[in-house]
Amino acid sequence: MKITDVEVVVVRQDEVKMIGDGSQDTAIVLVHTDEGITGIGEVDSAPEVVKMIVDAPSSHDQCRGLKSILVGEDPRNIEYLWYKMYHYSYYYSRRSVGIHAMSGIDIALWDILGKKMGVSVSRLIGGRFREKIPAYCSVLMPGTKKEIFDLVNHHKKDCNYHGYKFGWGALGESEEKDIKLVEYAREAVGSENRLMIDIGMRWKDYKYALRVSKEYEKQNIYWLEEPFEPDYLDMFGRLSDNINVSLASGEEYGTLFEFNDLINKGKVDIVQPDMSRCGGITMAKKIADMAMLNGKKLIPHAFKTGILMAATLQLIASIPNADMLEYCAQETVLSKGLVKHHFKLDKDGNVLIPDLPGLGIELNEEILNKYRR
Ligand code: MG
């Protein structure tokens, strides 16, 4: 079996708002083979940059475009290909978008292997701990009490989510507002639901963070996510030492090196790799082991389309330390429509984990062709 082509398809909805909503566009990775099997992956990054990294002609042997590294190779040698990509793109790709592009390819390679073997990816990476997973509703933080209540009532209407996460949006503007918005959010979701708050890296001041986090303790926050930018691991560690709320982070990090630092210097309680950015399913599985070794839960970040949700579900099936699925509740055409039969919650708020060959998904060609750029 040989890889014949690696294609990045950029899709984008007609209007993109400058808000923290990555489901407005995406980079779909298609790895084609000589046996007619195509693997599907996705990258949550700057789509055109990902495409350039894949398509780039080789400069010298540490600066090769990813497609040129892969064509002609057997797609079933997934870990070998991961390290081959890492090695031959070393000058530009040890971190950040190079690893993001590799992540989408890695997801597609697992999809190929599953389709070839006739089993789900979760069966290939260790088998299944579970057949379904409780979902939490992930939305942007509105700016007023009424908007928060309207949003929660809208989502409560049809789904019995296991919790709500409010992130980014109106958070991070002032201390008073950060405290008030979370009081409203707790009131809206009720005391029986888990409430998670994602600051979206907007806090810049440690003492500010400490004061607001102490207020959040009173609201029984299930976790506080990404208070600081990812390079400020000392501040993460200090905050973790001084608050009783669980600290969560991981979506900005890639490779085992960065997760080792996040866990040991950042001292986070909940590790959140994004499989389309951390190095793919291959790395996410190792990160899950690293998290378990350190007594941490692993609850992946996934705020994109059904492709990333499918990859996330396969990982969640195969690890002991996951207990919720981030369910991107943004109602964009791509988040809900790019994959046929988008994952829905059952009456108890769980998402069933497919046990079909590969990722178990099929792209909606009509949506793909309508929005491809
Ligand atoms: Mg987040």
Distance of CA 367 from the midpoint of ligand 1 (Å): 27
Distance of CA 81 from the midpoint of ligand 1 (Å): 29
The model's pLDDT over 29-77, given as tens digits with 9 standing for 90+, comes to 999 999 999 999 999 999 999 999 999 999 998 999 999 999 999 999 9
Distance of CA 165 from the midpoint of ligand 1 (Å): 9
Question: HEC states along the chain?
Answer: CCEEEEEEEEEECCCCCCCCCHHHEEEEEEEEECCCCEEEEEECCCHHHHHHHHHCCCCCCCCCCHHHHHCCCCCCCHHHHHHHHHHHCHHHHCCCHHHHHHHHHHHHHHHHHHHHHCCEHHHHCCCCCCCEEEEEEEEECCCCHHHHHHHHHHHHHHCCCCEEEEECCCCCCCHHHHHHHHHHHHHHHCCCCEEEEECCCCCCCHHHHHHHHHHHHHCCCCEEECCCCCCCHHHHHHHHHHCCCCEEECCCCCHHHHHHHHHHCCCCCEECCECCCCCHHHHHHHHHHHHHHCCCEECCECCCCHHHHHHHHHHHHCCCCCCCEEEECCCCHHHHHCECCCCCECCCCEEECCCCCECCCCECHHHHHHHEC
Distance of CA 179 from the midpoint of ligand 1 (Å): 18
In sequence order, the β-bridge partners of residue 326 are: 136
Distance of CA 344 from the midpoint of ligand 1 (Å): 21
Distance of CA 202 from the midpoint of ligand 1 (Å): 11
Distance of CA 223 from the midpoint of ligand 1 (Å): 11
Distance of CA 226 from the midpoint of ligand 1 (Å): 6
Q: What pTM was computed for the model?
A: 0.97
Distance of CA 23 from the midpoint of ligand 1 (Å): 13
Distance of CA 35 from the midpoint of ligand 1 (Å): 39
- The confidence score (pLDDT) of residue 331 equals 81
Distance of CA 76 from the midpoint of ligand 1 (Å): 32
List of the chain residues with pLDDT < 70: none
Distance of CA 275 from the midpoint of ligand 1 (Å): 13
How far apart (Å, rounded) are the C-alpha atoms in residues 99 and 196? 28
Q: Are the C-beta atoms of residues 139 and 197 closer than 8 Å to each other? A: no
Distance of CA 128 from the midpoint of ligand 1 (Å): 26
Distance of CA 110 from the midpoint of ligand 1 (Å): 25
Distance of CA 140 from the midpoint of ligand 1 (Å): 10
Structure tokens, 20: 């923290």
Distance of CA 167 from the midpoint of ligand 1 (Å): 7
Distance of CA 318 from the midpoint of ligand 1 (Å): 23
Distance of CA 27 from the midpoint of ligand 1 (Å): 19
Distance of CA 198 from the midpoint of ligand 1 (Å): 6
Distance of CA 348 from the midpoint of ligand 1 (Å): 25
Distance of CA 129 from the midpoint of ligand 1 (Å): 25
Distance of CA 303 from the midpoint of ligand 1 (Å): 8
- The confidence score (pLDDT) of residue 221 equals 97
- The confidence score (pLDDT) of residue 22 equals 85
Neighbours of 144 (CB within 10 A): 12
Distance of CA 74 from the midpoint of ligand 1 (Å): 35
Distance of CA 200 from the midpoint of ligand 1 (Å): 6
